[in-house]
Copies of this chain bind each other. A is one copy, B any other.
Amino acid sequence: MKNNLDELFHPRSIAIVGVSNSTTGLLASRFFVKPLIDFGFGGKIYPVHPKEKELLGLKVFPSITDIPGPVDYVISAIPSHKAPQLMEECIARGVKLISFYTAGFSESDDNEGQKLEATLLEIACRGNIRILGPNCMGIYCPESGISFDSAFPKESGQVALISQSGGVAFYIGREAISRGVSFSKIVSYGNASDINETELLQYLAQDDETKVIAAYIEGIKEGRKFLQALREATTVKPVIVLKGGSTEAGTRGVLSHTASLAGADITWEAAFNQAGALRVFNPEELIDMIVASSHPYPEGKRVAIIGFGGGASVQAADECEKAGLSVPPIPQTVKKQLGKLALVPGSIFKNPIDMVGNFANPEELSQTIQIIAGWEEVDFLLPHLILGVAGFGYEDLKLHVSVLQQMINIAKTLNKPVIFVLDSTSSPVWQKEAFHARQECLAAGFPVYPSMKQAAQAISRIQSLSKSTSSDNR
């Protein structure tokens, strides 16, 4: 049975209250009105403001009451003290869901905000209306044409993200998208006064559009219910959890940010493990695990590293083994095959395979990769390029592009997973090049990690998931 959140993600009409052409109102309209237009939201869009007549080409209504048709979803950007009055108007109009962008509720330092939030909840229960937030960005659901960021993609994907923080939702959303991830839903749910992490998790576990669930959670309202929901969710799809507030100062921050009680970290650590969730410790790890869980997992932990540079290869081997992967030595049979190729001195055939001197030699590169792919005792290939390191023609942009294209072409023909690591120096020229190189790999369907350490940790961890819960796009 689907819970009733599904219809909240598919409203027929949306009213946005408190948007205007002035500075503060403009910000809200950029978040909540413009994306609806950009995404081609199929239902009605009603901006609401007492004085404005027109906004972004849309008619503005003086109040909710003045809107002619039914209103399913209301986004509020008005000051917190006006929220109860708005709630009453919403109930009168049969609104199903109201999302409060505005802060100034239970997360604030004074008692007033807390009382106000309690009042909203009381009104919501009485009037049979659901609250998202307050203090949140609300919903991104490309299937419905709803977004709070015009830069998010219009295509629907397989990953759902719930985030108590709006900033973290923006950050993870944008970063994951640049790593090739598409989302079914992103929900920024703020103070979680009504709709909370448990209900969202239950909904997403049942949601057919969602194959992987990621969560940034600051505090958990109903511990037992949440863990029960988590246990159930992890039996059907991977769940990755980033828990904000794992230290004293972080916990204090959580209280001020979303009025949540972070709880003792050691308790959560054990609970997440028992429930079968993958726990991560920062947004970058969360994105890495989303990437890992959205691609076919290697069958095992044995990796062949194909690198460019002796020192970098040593580092790569260290990172892989430290992360729990196995980097087996190349057997004599494979070495013999490699020995027949015309590779320059300085090439190392030990795993990592160091191809540094053959960088400009695509034919030898292809053959090397094919031989390594035929080596039965490894489960996947990990080619590693560091863009912008001097030497061996590394500084020739065109050469980089052709080497990478060559590697992608060979990778496509192999029947072993190939996972790319594309690193670069921090020069803007090479970062840009690395960004485009990444897009090439992603377009060809290969996962990409920005460092060997991140790749090794993510691939090692993803193996702990049972095959049954892996994403369908294997």
Contact = CB atoms under 8 A, between A and B. Distances in A.
Of the candidates A102, A164, A253, the one having the most CB atoms from chain B within 10 angstroms of its own CB is: A253
A457 interface: no
A234 interface: no
A426 B175 contact: yes
Shortest 8 CB-CB contacts between residues of A and residues of B: A165-B311, A249-B327, A167-B309, A247-B321, A257-B310, A168-B311, A250-B318, A249-B317
A314 B254 contact: yes
26 contacts: A27-B392, A151-B390, A165-B312, A165-B314, A167-B309, A170-B389, A174-B425, A175-B425, A179-B426, A244-B314, A244-B318, A245-B314, A245-B317, A249-B317, A249-B352, A252-B350, A253-B310, A253-B314, A253-B317, A255-B350, A256-B350, A256-B354, A257-B311, A257-B313, A426-B431, A428-B435
A417 interface: no
Given A31-B391, A253-B350, A310-B253, A247 B167 contact: no
B310 A165 contact: yes
A157 interface: no
A467 interface: no
Contact of A174 (B79, B254, B322, B388): B388
Interface of A: 27, 31, 79-80, 102-104, 108-109, 135, 149, 151, 163-168, 170-171, 174-175, 178-179, 216, 218, 244-250, 252-258, 281-283, 309-315, 317-322, 327, 329, 345-346, 348-352, 354, 356, 386, 388-393, 425-428, 431-432, 435, 450, 453
Contact of A348 (B245, B256, B313, B315): B256
